[in-house]
Amino acid sequence: MKPSLSGLRRRFRLPRRLRVTFEGKGFILLTLGVGVAAVNTGNNLLYIALSMNLSLIVISGILSEWCIRGVAVLVRHASEAFVSRESLLAITCTAMGKRFPPTALSVSLTLDGSQLTARFPEIPAGGESTRILSVRPARRGTLSHGSCSISTLFPFALFEKSMDVLPRASLVVYPEPAEAGSPPPGESTPEPAGNDGIPGREGSGIRGAREHAAADPVRDIHWKASARMGRWMVKERERESAPVADLRLPVTCPPIEFERLVSRACAFVLRCEREGRPYRLWLGDSLRVDASRGGLRAQALAFLAFVGANGAPPGDGAAS
């Protein structure tokens, strides 16, 4: 019964909401007083003042509607988000198609049970403006967002008009990395078979020369090749093979223990990426991420964000 009632409320909710501010209440009382005095005295000046006050209320409604109409909201991560750690969230308001800049806007967003508010004093006409907020996610996976509304006090701060919007958002939270010193689950480092060019540490052998790039250190300049070619050349070194580290997560595991293993696996992935060490992630006997040649940080973290034991959604049992 409760879900159906909430659905009916959302369906028949007014497209705009209006809240009278403290200043607006005083202005309305003043307008009522002027109206009563004008009716009792018949003074034309009081009727003119009453008309001006009523006109300001009408103008305020028109300008506030123009200010919030056509504004879109985009929510994205400004930094990688990990469970129980402070991360940065970027809230962007766009005013495409507007000839004049919207002013005094506020965006209220319910994110994972917490209320976030971003204020935009002015948005360029036809452009966008971004605010950075801090958030601390409670569980890994998709960061669910609830209601989102745009409100404004423009132009006289007598009324606050707001409307509900559906923000564009794609928010993924990675597991909390385990503390340093915690061994990752099922890690093994077998010796590589042959020299197949797996990225690893730079070797001492020189296999040729190439043109100098801005990021190349001075110590790698190949002086003889530079003198022969007439332009700066640097040594092109061979890379030493590094052993591939395999990390396995169990398919069947209690949810609380599985979350601990995923947390350790996250720390393992971050350490391998930081050290340039090749690795592979397994779920049982199934290879899910093969980062033996590097460049799969986002894919590995996304796998750990959504993986679950026994087919359960990610994060189940973590809070207990």
Domain boundary among 218, 239, 260: 239
| Cα 34 from Cα 47, distance rounded (Å) | 8
Q: Is residue 2 part of a domain?
A: no
Contact between residue 116 and residue 88 where contact means Cβ atoms under 8 Å apart: no
Domain assignment of residue 181, given as a range: 176-197+244-320
For residue 187, what pLDDT is reported? 57
Q: Is the pLDDT of residue 320 over 90?
A: no
Q: Is residue 165 part of a domain?
A: yes
| Cα 300 from Cα 320, distance rounded (Å) | 26
Q: Quick one: 224 and 294 in the same domain?
A: no
| Cα 139 from Cα 187, distance rounded (Å) | 25
Q: Is the pLDDT of residue 260 over 50?
A: yes
Per-residue pLDDT of 180-197, as tens digits, reads 555 556 555 433 333 333
Q: Quick one: 234 and 288 in the same domain?
A: no
Per-residue pLDDT of 231-251, as tens digits, reads 888 887 665 556 888 998 988
User: Number of folded domains in the chain?
Assistant: 3
For residue 236, what pLDDT is reported? 74
| Cα 280 from Cα 299, distance rounded (Å) | 11
Q: Quick one: 161 and 20 in the same domain?
A: yes
| Cα 38 from Cα 31, distance rounded (Å) | 10
For residue 231, what pLDDT is reported? 85
Place of tokens 């990021």: 215
In the chain, the largest separation of any two C-alpha atoms, in whole Å, equals 104
Q: Is residue 5 part of a domain?
A: no
Q: Is the pLDDT of residue 198 over 50?
A: no
Q: Is residue 1 part of a domain?
A: no
Q: CA-based Rg of the chain, rounded to a whole angstrom?
A: 30
For residue 104, what pLDDT is reported? 92
- The CATH number of residue 60's host domain is 2.60.40.10
Q: Quick one: 164 and 31 in the same domain?
A: yes
Residues 6+ apart with CB under 8 A from 225: 209, 233
Q: Quick one: 264 and 292 in the same domain?
A: yes
Q: Which residues sit opposite 151 in a β-bridge?
A: 106, 162
Q: Quick one: 78 and 100 in the same domain?
A: yes
Domain boundary among 219, 239, 259: 239
Q: What is the pTM of this model?
A: 0.71
> pLDDT: is 100 or 184 the higher one?
100
Q: Quick one: 233 and 250 in the same domain?
A: no
Instruction: Name the residue type at position 10.
Output: R
